[in-house]
Structure 1
């Protein structure tokens, strides 16, 4: 049985979510009305996974998440609104240790819960198996358990200035020699932080990213990454020429594809296709890239995420002479997508997250 703790101040939301998971037959469900009650349930209920609303009285979701990760780390799925403000707070939650999020329906929840139920169950079930890094906020946890005062409250940490990104150097607008394609899903935003922040400003290839997210989330994600990275990070909302020194984040709820114009390859947003379940689709991104860029000038990187999106296309990429990297099980929050690439024999390199940037730099010949 999977022990699920539902934390939400809305009695209706607790009841509807509880009904969805109870119907699965392998969930034991507990409830909390706010962050204070959730912390009490950590020891009493000992959940395997938690769904955590962001806006609650007494203790909000971010403050509660902060305490969970310090006192008893557990996979947490945030319950977020689809607004940009909700997206920004959700990205903060990822930095505190959340592994995924579910979005509240835009209409009355009681009208949409049955449609959303399969996706909710899939996300929470995957999160229950998520691997939380043993190093996650380890120093703070040790200080807390030792009775020291070094663990700063979440609000204080969120107000601290972000570290300055590496200096940016102007890259000549020369034709790109190749293209780096990155696909990720569950656990992806922190993984993208870790990978992209290690690529230098003079990285010689454009980078295109397909991160499974709603459309209101990818703009805030791209702006956050732009602050952290030496490369310029932009959300793809219209056709854009592919230029070195740039990272292009596919817009959520659409697909990110590679096309061709008289002056060279471009990246653009395209309406999602029903044959692809997750969007932006990694498979579609890689397949369209192979139509316009020689496979030997492509590198595909598949990182943490549930499901198998990207594994089929990146296996084809390797078969045609391209190079591929799969994040290893030891570092992936969910080893679904990269694990499937490995099982299909499509991964040329399997490496933990902290080594992937160095592997990419070796492949492009950057010294």
Structure 2
């Protein structure tokens, strides 16, 4: 039986989260703040911790930092759907949390029917993840970037480069659980003159993708934008808006990335399969590279397998570095991966493939 420690300063949330998990067959204990959580982590030895972000005495980030140093285990952050909550959650993912889930808002009792099954799924998946002892300590995170600065970056000019069919191509990246720090690693390693535009589908709520794109924009040499309206694809990195899909289309001015309502045909959003399939309708497969990285499920595996069969190139993150080898593993098992690379080698492989 999977053991879960539920940490939240709200007695109601401890009761709701704990009840959902017990009903799903998990063994559950609770803690009311970060200090008590550290005691229970050692005594209870949980397989997974769900951790509130805002708590008295010791907040979620400080508690997570200590957990990853003293007894590393999978941690799922429970976050409010606010800009501040999104920023703190992204910090938590950099510190070692494997996933996050937005807390129910409004009448909690009315949200349990949708929140409960998703919570149980995320916790069960987290229990299977690979966790390493803290590699990004809180002090290092604060030295790297002053708090909240990445949410309000200085305006950066769009670097104009040749679009597909004009001497370049497209890189399409799909990622889910464990994705934000993985994308940080890959995208921040690419040079400012990387010649192909990059479109990213990261499974994430809409309230998080704006902060995520702004943060990446502050870390990467390439300009990074969230696609919230029809946007001409010229260069840099384009992040799909959360809780929706991003599709590629062609207009008189050239290729554009479009936000689209999430399709009921696809389980995860922004959908990697839909992004890749739409791009194949407008760009020659030989001018595309698909990259599938850490994440549970199989989103992107079918479309990228089809892309490879049609003449495109594909990269799957290797099992040794993926937090969850679900999506990239499905691509490999389907015979759809040209290259299987550890996370730290993906950017180098991309530069080799595009001749950068």
Answer whether TM exceeds 0.5 for this pair: yes
Residues 1:323 and 2:322 aligned together: no
Would you say the 8 A contact 1:62–1:154 is kept in 2?
A: no
Q: For 1:89-128, what aligned pairs fall within 5 Å after superposition?
A: 89-128=88-127
Given that 1:63 and 1:155 are in contact with CA atoms closer than 8 Å, whether structure 2 keeps it comes out as no
Contact 2:78 2:101 in 1 (8 A): yes
Structure 1 CA distance for aligned equivalents of residues 318 and 134 of structure 2: 16
How many residue pairs match? The answer is 349
**Deviation digits for residues 170-213 of structure 1, max 9, x if unmatched?**
84443341000000000000000000001111111000000001
Report deviation, 1:108.
Answer: 1.4
Q: 1:203 to 1:155 in 2, by over 3 A?
A: closer
For the 8 Å contact 2:80–2:102, the answer to whether it is kept is yes
Which residue in the other structure is 1:203 paired with?
A: 194
Residue 357 of structure 1, CA deviation: 0.5
Deviation at 1:275, TM superposition (A): 1.1
Change (3 A) 1:292 1:229: same
Q: Secondary structure at the match of 2:49?
A: strand
| Runs of 5+ unmatched residues, structure 2 | none
Kept in 2, the 8 Å contact 1:133–1:331? The answer is: no
The answer for unaligned runs of 5 or more in structure 1 is: 141-150
**Is the aligned partner of 1:6 residue 2:6?**
yes
Distance (Å, rounded) in 1 between the aligned partners of 2:47 and 2:88: 23
The corresponding residue for 2:333 is 343
d(CA) in 2 for partners of 1:113, 1:223? 31
- Secondary structure at 2:337's aligned position in 1? coil
The verdict on how the C-alpha distance between 1:73 and 1:289 changes in structure 2, with shifts beyond 3 A counting, is: same
2:274 to 263, 280, 284: 284
Does the C-alpha gap of structure 1 residues 269 and 74 become closer, same or farther in structure 2, counting only changes over 3 Å? Answer: same
Q: What is the alpha-carbon root mean square deviation over aligned residues? A: 2.1
Q: Distance in 2 between matches of 1:175 and 1:12?
A: 52
Residue 204 of structure 2 is aligned to residue 213 of structure 1: yes
Which of 224, 231, 240 is residue 231 of structure 2 equivalent to?
Answer: 240
Which residue of the partner structure matches residue 17 of structure 1?
17
Decide whether the 8 Å contact of 2:65 with 2:134 is kept in 1.
Answer: no
For the residue of structure 2 that corresponds to 1:341, the secondary structure is helix
Q: Which moved more, 1:307-316 or 1:154-163?
A: 154-163
Deviation at 1:71, TM superposition (A): 1.0
CA contact (8 A) 1:236 1:251 kept: yes
Shift of 1:272: 0.7
TM-score (norm 2): 0.93
SS of 1:52 mapped into structure 2: strand
Superposed displacement of residue 136, structure 1: 2.5
What's the CA shift string for 1:292-346, capped at 9, x where partnerless?
A: 0000100000000011100111011011111000000100001111111111111
